[in-house]
Amino acid sequence: MVLLDNGRISPRRDDSPRRVGTRVERRKARTRARLLAAARHLFATGGVEQTTIAEIAGRADIAIGSFYNYFGTKEELLDALIEELFSEQLRLLQLRQAQVNDPAEKISIAHRHLVRVAQTDSDWAWLLVRLEVPHRVAWAVLGSAARRDLRDGIEGGRFQLANPALALNASGGALFAVIHAQLVGEGSKNASSEHAEGVLRSFGLSQADATEIAHRPLPDAVEPTEATPE
């Protein structure tokens, strides 16, 4: 089954009967989701600093006082939003990566996936570039996976790098630049593959190898199926 969006159910917090608890928690989860969706749009279009809690509550159609039942501050909401958005994209790109073994193709898939998200979800992309420290924020969620893929490529002789940490930071900076270019109408239709090709070249692959890998079909993000017991 192809993944479409992220569902999140809050855990029960008391020992009340299951039916009542489930109903209450579902209502609270819906309200929390509305707050996150409202903040997602407002932060992306107007910036975090310029957006007020009153605006978030208004767009979510709840009272300002109710906001504090879910988040203590705007910054706390931002942290939850960042974790949700980037953790979901990490999950999806890793489902794509699970279908290949070549570390170079895994790197290509990760970069192509994120550029394509920016091409289809401008709120997500603007939120990324409008954050005050987008590189640090994104790498807090995506960085460990990227470092692992890079290490695997180096150990397997796929990548030739004098300074892996610098190469990783440079590829991340290039990714943000490409995403911003897409948002302001300066990117090309094939930006995801073109960017991935450039990253692979910077990691030491030949022009022919980088081009071929970066233009392979992008695997779908599919959930693994459980084997049926015999």
Domain boundaries, the chain: 18-72, 78-214
- Low-confidence residues of the chain: pLDDT under 70: 1-21, 132-142, 225-230
- How many CA within 13 A on the CB side of residue 101? 1
Q: Which SS3 state, helix, strand or coil, does residue 222 take?
A: strand
pLDDT of residue 139: 62
Strands (E), 1-146: none
- Identity of residue 178: V
Helix (H) or strand (E) run with residue 78 in it? helix 74-97
- How many CA within 13 A on the CB side of residue 132? 5
pLDDT of residue 187: 80
Structure tokens at 4: 């479409």
pLDDT of residue 137: 55
**So what's the architecture of 18-72 in CATH?**
Orthogonal Bundle (1.10)
φ, ψ dihedrals at 218, nearest 5°: -80, 120
Q: Which SS3 state, helix, strand or coil, does residue 2 take?
A: strand
Q: For residues 197 and 112, is the Cβ–Cβ distance under 8 A? A: no
pLDDT of residue 178: 93
pLDDT of residue 24: 84
Centroid of chain to Cα 130: 15
DSSP string covering 127-188: HHHHSSSHHHHHHHHHHHHHHHHHHHHHHTT----S-HHHHHHHHHHHHHHHHHHHHTT-S-
Q: For residues 116 and 218, is the Cβ–Cβ distance under 8 A? A: yes
Can you count the helices (H) and strands (E) in the chain?
Answer: 10, 0
Structure tokens at 160: 């030739």
Q: Would you tell me which CATH number, out of the four given (1.10.357.10, 3.30.465.10, 1.20.120.160, 3.50.50.60), belongs to the domain 78-214?
A: 1.10.357.10
Q: For residues 97 and 223, is the Cβ–Cβ distance under 8 A? A: no
> Fold identical between 18-72 and 78-214?
no
Verdict on whether the full-model pTM lies above 0.95: no
Q: Which of 52, 83, 54 is nearest to 66 (CA)?
A: 54
pLDDT of residue 101: 93
pLDDT of residue 222: 83
pLDDT of residue 14: 43
**What are the residues facing 222 on neighbouring strands?**
2
